[in-house]
Amino acid sequence: MLQILDPSGRLVGGVPDLDDKDLVEMYRLMALGRQFDRRAMNLQRQGRLGTFPPGEGQEATQIGSAYAIGPEDWIYPSYREHALQLARGMPPSVMLSYFRGMPNRDWDVHRYRMNIHTIPIATQLPHAVGHAQAARLAGENLITVVYFGDGATSESDFHSAMNFAGLWKTPTVFLCSNNGWAISMPVRNQTAAAALADKAVGYGMPGVQVDGMDVLAVYAATREAVERARSGGGPTLIEAITYRYGPHATADNPSLYRDEEEVSAWRDRDPLVRFKRFLVGEGLWSDEIDDQVKAEAAKFDEALADIETREEPPREEAVRHIYARIPRGLARQFGTAMKREGGRPSAVEPDELWRIGYDPPLRGPTSRWTMAEALNAALREVMDRYGNAVVMGEDVGKTGGVFRITEGLLDRYGPERVIDTPLCETGIAGTAVGMAIGGAIPLVEIQFDGFVYPAFDQIVSHMARFRFRTRSNVSLPIVVRWPNGGGIAPHEFHADSPEAYFVHTPGLTVVIPSTAVDAKGLLTAAAESPDPVLFLEPKVLYRAGREDVPTGYYRLPIGRARIRRPGSDVTVVTYGGMVRVALSAAEDLAAEGVDCEVIDLRTLKPWDREAVLESVARTGRLVLVQEPPKTAGMAAEVAATVAEEALYDLEAPILRVAGFDAPWPQFGVEHHAIITPQRVVSAILETLV
């Protein structure tokens, strides 16, 4: 274990190249960080802050590393790096506002070059890796440093981040504050490894163990890792052996799982006491240093008092910053709430770009393409137009993906822009978040629908929420594509339809095309969206037929349905692979004199409420068709809306034709679950009785 100062403050190693002013300033920042923690703890006990995670004891790890990081570098913290934040120039008011429970309106990620707190453990690690990779592709000479605790090393995101960083040799420094406890779980219950630093070996990077209570040793270890990363040597894992004297957070009682003897023994290694002894021995100490710290610390209370006197953000803030443009449905929800709570008018106006009318006319030369070919063309056009667009996923390079959607892109754009990733959906989605923060446009492919579940946390916790959590300070222009649904007789987990999980999530846009023309225009629009878009491609339609697709660049409006077949007797609403089933049923009924209108939603979030309501007002009947399980699906959402807003237009009950509330069957009996035109015909006829 690297050590420069022993617990008594005596030199046992070479002093790093720091001048006297730097040494004194390091102590001041450490002491200021401790004062921040103590005062914040007191303020929380007074009921003026929410739950607070103190970092007392870890100041040396934070300040030693902070001094080794350049101003151009980016930091990805967890949630107790308070001394580090002060060292990077973040005002106490910004830090305290977060723990006061107020929106992160002043936390400018780009100004401080520091990401916001990360609450799901370890999920920030792949972000740091992706950001470093995007910066390198853009020719920026910056590194990313990511902070986490010993408990985070048990998370799958730790593995994915380390593996991607080691493979890509990203300029990333992983700094683990091993304080011995993950709340009540001792580190011996986290790993069988003798040292957490030993884990680095399996990922092809150096692992360094350092005395985390020794600010000079942490500085030396971090500086070496930073220099290595900046010179192209790749990532490093630093394990700083440290301790937190206080609880995990103010809701925790550490006396339940550790004894006073242990705490007392670590108190003897106090990083501030140790470093003060060193400064005294070097003739650099002055009591004015502590006086200055006390004076600065007094301003923490003033900062909170200022926050407490601010006007509460208007209620409209609850629905702003979720998307770059407020969807009509969200604006309507808020307006209804205001009306029901006293009639106050809503100050939230929807952006009409969410519904720009019917599709623009498509002109120019065309080719007879399948949906797969149209998607490939869209990816090429996007990558031609945007040099920061990157395709990434499993087998997307030489093989062109399982369904050959990315075929030929590797030869055209090279391995830096068409990245064959490790087989790890968590890592793919997580690094995509970091790449987007770093200025790239990640075009992600998840190999199959059932494989998206491991990436759920990154998609829902981070992709969907980043704009909201940063008050629009960060946009994540990410497209996550995957082949969706059944119909091709694959093995289990290769025929799922998980769209309902994501439709439920604020901050995501969910698109499912049903034709080659739509697939190309909607994928182009998705790639140009400032918000993350999940683009689900019905695998049964990839090569189901050809149609004339414009070969030039065009976009289709996200959020706008299309009437596939006009009709007057009954409205059939569906999407994706079920569109052709509904059309087949409509044609069968046409022979019997029943005129069905078939609406293809195309976008499930935001879905085109107006198109459906207008159609139901004309036909008086509604049948909904979806392939996924019936309960809590998209059909239920549309049915509930029509029941709420157009009940008196209906002449018959709303009917749903949907998949069973059961997993998709094995491919040998897939036909037992597939929705047939006959099932749709029968439902339509029921509404006409």
Residue 208 CB contacts under 8 Å (≥ 6 apart), including other chains:
2, 197, 221, 224, 225, 236, 237, 238, 239
Residue 523 CB contacts under 8 Å (≥ 6 apart), including other chains:
375, 378, 379, 382, 479, 481, 513, 535
Burial label for 482, CB within 10 Å (0-12, 13-18, 19+), is buried
Which among 371, 448, 442 has a CA at the least distance from the CA of 402? 448
- State whether residue 667 is helix, strand or coil: helix
* Rounded Cα gap, residues 458 and 430, in angstroms: 6
Q: Per the omega criterion (within 30 degrees of 0), is the bond before 91 cis?
A: no
Residues of the chain with pLDDT under 70: 351-358
Which among 531, 526, 527 has a CA at the least distance from the CA of 463? 531
Per-residue confidence (pLDDT) for residue 354, from 0 to 100? 46
Q: By the 8 A CB rule, do 212 and 238 touch?
A: no
Q: By the 8 A CB rule, do 302 and 328 touch?
A: no
Residues in the chain: 689
Which among 76, 78, 77, 33 has a CA at the least distance from the CA of 56? 33
Which among 391, 327, 366 has a CA at the least distance from the CA of 520? 366
Q: By the 8 A CB rule, do 496 and 450 touch?
A: yes
* Rounded Cα gap, residues 218 and 236, in angstroms: 13
Phi, then psi, of 628 in degrees rounded to 5: -70, 170
Straight-line distance from the first to the last Cα atom of the chain, in angstroms, rounded to the nearest whole number = 81
- State whether residue 353 is helix, strand or coil: helix
Annotated active-site residue in 494, 504, 671, 672? 494
Q: By the 8 A CB rule, do 203 and 173 touch?
A: no
- State whether residue 228 is helix, strand or coil: helix
Place of tokens 């149209």: 374
Q: By the 8 A CB rule, do 126 and 426 touch?
A: yes
Catalytic site includes residue 494: yes
Place of tokens 């103190």: 54
State the helix-helix crossing angle for 287-309 and 92-99, rounded to 10 degrees.
Answer: 50
Return the beta strands (E) in 479-546 as ranges: 479-484, 509-511, 533-538
Q: By the 8 A CB rule, do 178 and 196 touch?
A: yes
Per-residue confidence (pLDDT) for residue 396, from 0 to 100? 97
pTM: 0.95
Per-residue confidence (pLDDT) for residue 70, from 0 to 100? 95
Per-residue confidence (pLDDT) for residue 352, from 0 to 100? 55
Task: Please state whether beta strands 622-629 and 655-659 pair in parallel, antiparallel, or not at all (unpaired).
Answer: parallel
* Sign for the pseudo-dihedral over CA of 79, 82, 87, 88: positive
Burial 448-465 (b: 16+ CB within 10 A, else e): bbbbbebbbbbbbbbbbb
* Rounded Cα gap, residues 679 and 580, in angstroms: 13
518: left (phi over 0), alpha (psi -120 to 50) or beta: alpha
* Rounded Cα gap, residues 64 and 73, in angstroms: 15
Q: By the 8 A CB rule, do 220 and 4 touch?
A: yes
- Sequence letter at residue 335: G
For 117, 311, 323, 329, 589, the CA distances from 617, given in Å and listed in that order, are: 48, 45, 30, 19, 21
Burial label for 389, CB within 10 Å (0-12, 13-18, 19+), is buried
Q: By the 8 A CB rule, do 688 and 594 touch?
A: yes
* Rounded Cα gap, residues 677 and 17, in angstroms: 77
Which among 174, 224, 234 has a CA at the least distance from the CA of 199? 174
Q: Retrieve residue 558's tokens.
A: 């996200």
Q: Retrieve residue 429's tokens.
A: 């989605």
Q: Retrieve residue 659's tokens.
A: 């998949």
Which among 464, 465, 477 has a CA at the least distance from the CA of 528? 477
Largest CA distance in the chain: 100
